[in-house]
Copies of this chain bind each other. A is one copy, B any other.
Amino acid sequence: MDVHDLSAYMAHVGAAARSASTRMAAASTAAKNEALVALARLLRDNGPTLAEANARDLTAAAAAGLDGPMLDRLKLGDKVIATVAEGCEQIAAMPDPIGEILNLRRRPSGISVGQMRVPLGVFGMIYESRPNVTIEAASLAIKSGNAAILRGGSEALHSNVALWKLVQAALLEAGLPAEAVQLIETTDRAAVGKLITMPESVDVIIPRGGKGLIERISAEARVPVIKHLDGNCHTYVDAEVDLDMALVVTENAKTQKYSPCNATESLLVHAAQAEAFLPRIAAVFAAKGVEVRGCARTLAAVAGVPGLKTAAATEQDWGEEYLGPIISARVVDSLDEAIAHINRHGSHHTDAILTTHHPSAMRFLREVDSASVMVNASTRFADGFEYGLGAEIGISTDKFHARGPVGLDGLTSLKYVVLGQGEIRT
């Protein structure tokens, strides 16, 4: 297929995906698992081929002046390959979500009504530099009986093509259509514009990447988008709390890693604990070089902590996702104020309360309007693997369809099944 006639190329890719999705929806669990196990084997057996393709990308990226973290993400080393191969085997070992029938119940008319889990159809995945996403998306597509159209970063094209060839070989080995997973083989940026406006061929788009990319896709897409934009997560230390626990959990939530979207970016402390808690956590932050951008009461409470970098928080700080060693901090006078602050300034991603007071915990769970709400746990747990989904195709901060970490079930839909013995409507 000539990738230079973009309209014809994308139409061809879309039609092939739609056609393959019908076969994938009817594929047996055994065939899907066989493809996943074969893919794991092919990944392990083709280290040199993958390394060669990856080297081409890395050389070009270095020549183009890409920075260190970007090159790190692009690198497809032995450890990354071992991890994605193991991921394929883990997904093969999971129960098949497709065909499951929920809530089958007899109705007064005599019919039995239930809901059968079926694939969504075709999903488009748009991602940036990390080539391992190619295998993660492909393996989730295979297990969930969907077809996928993948669009990776242009800087990773050779790596992605090499990985994709293995995916197609694994599909064919299991008797499944190679077109169940397709990779867009052109770096033409207009291909993304086509992919997100083909409702006849694509049922949902899943973008992973920077906020700019995701905002543009959401604004222009003509199909549903499973996405999250910001991770401005809060940890709230309540009036009644185990301070030692709060110290350990808050430290973990902020400092275990700075870059993930589920790291805490804002700390709220009830006034009753401000004097006791803030100097202790501030000492931890000082030791780790974390700057505190606080309200006036916070700054007063931490004034005596040696070596702590501080600044007065501006209104903008309450909405900021720093993704680095900075945290905003505010003293609140009540649980109500904490909940209102989070619902107003947060990004509806993940927020935690640390408390020993049961009614506070229950109100926080119910009233904080976020995809994940936690009691006495680090916000860093908001993750498909930690939640037991087995894998994660993305995270949704929308409320429609899927919310929070999205695993296999998020790639499915429930249709009604009705089993009768000749019943009629009267």
- Give chain B residues whose Cβ lies under 8 Å from the Cβ of A203: 399-400
Is A120 touching B376 in the complex (CB atoms < 8 A)? no
Is B413 touching A400 in the complex (CB atoms < 8 A)? yes
Is B388 touching A415 in the complex (CB atoms < 8 A)? no
With A109-B381, A203-B399, A378-B425 as known contacts, state yes or no: A371 contacts B415, CB within 8 Å.
yes
Is B373 touching A417 in the complex (CB atoms < 8 A)? yes
Within 8 A of B (CB), among A112-135: 113, 116, 118, 120-121
Q: Is A73 an interface residue (CB 8 A)?
A: no
Tell me the bound Cα distance from A381 to B113 in angstroms. Answer: 10
A248 to chain B, nearest CB (A): 6
Q: Is A99 an interface residue (CB 8 A)?
A: yes
With A203-B400, A249-B422 as known contacts, state yes or no: A417 contacts B377, CB within 8 Å.
no
- Give chain B residues whose Cβ lies under 8 Å from the Cβ of A252: 424-425
Closest to A116 in B: B365
- Give chain B residues whose Cβ lies under 8 Å from the Cβ of A372: 415-418
Is A425 touching B380 in the complex (CB atoms < 8 A)? yes
Tell me the bound Cα distance from A371 to B405 in angstroms. Answer: 25
Within 8 A of B (CB), among A340-398: 343, 352, 365-367, 369-378, 380-382, 386-388
Is B107 touching A415 in the complex (CB atoms < 8 A)? no
Q: Is A419 an interface residue (CB 8 A)?
A: yes
Tell me the bound Cα distance from A332 to B121 in angstroms. Answer: 26
Is B245 touching A422 in the complex (CB atoms < 8 A)? yes
A129 to chain B, nearest CB (A): 24
Q: Interface residue count for A (Cβ, 8 Å)? A: 65
Is B224 touching A377 in the complex (CB atoms < 8 A)? no
Number of copies: 2
Is B420 touching A375 in the complex (CB atoms < 8 A)? yes
- Give chain B residues whose Cβ lies under 8 Å from the Cβ of A373: 116, 415-418
Tell me the bound Cα distance from A22 to B343 in angstroms. Answer: 10
- Give chain B residues whose Cβ lies under 8 Å from the Cβ of A404: 415-416
Q: Is A423 an interface residue (CB 8 A)?
A: yes
Q: Is A267 an interface residue (CB 8 A)?
A: no
8 Å CB contact of A415 from B99, B370, B381, B386 = B370
Tell me the bound Cα distance from A370 to B256 in angstroms. Answer: 47
- Give chain B residues whose Cβ lies under 8 Å from the Cβ of A245: 421-422
Is B377 touching A418 in the complex (CB atoms < 8 A)? yes
Is A376 touching B420 in the complex (CB atoms < 8 A)? yes
With A26-B366, A382-B416, A399-B120 as known contacts, state yes or no: A422 contacts B371, CB within 8 Å.
no
What 8 A-B pairs are tightest by C-beta distance, nearest first?
Answer: A377-B420, A252-B424, A245-B422, A380-B425, A374-B418, A399-B413, A401-B401, A372-B416
Binding site for B on A (CB under 8 A): 22, 25-26, 99, 105, 107, 109, 111, 113, 116, 118, 120-121, 203-204, 224, 242, 245, 248-249, 251-253, 256, 343, 352, 365-367, 369-378, 380-382, 386-388, 399-401, 403-405, 413-426
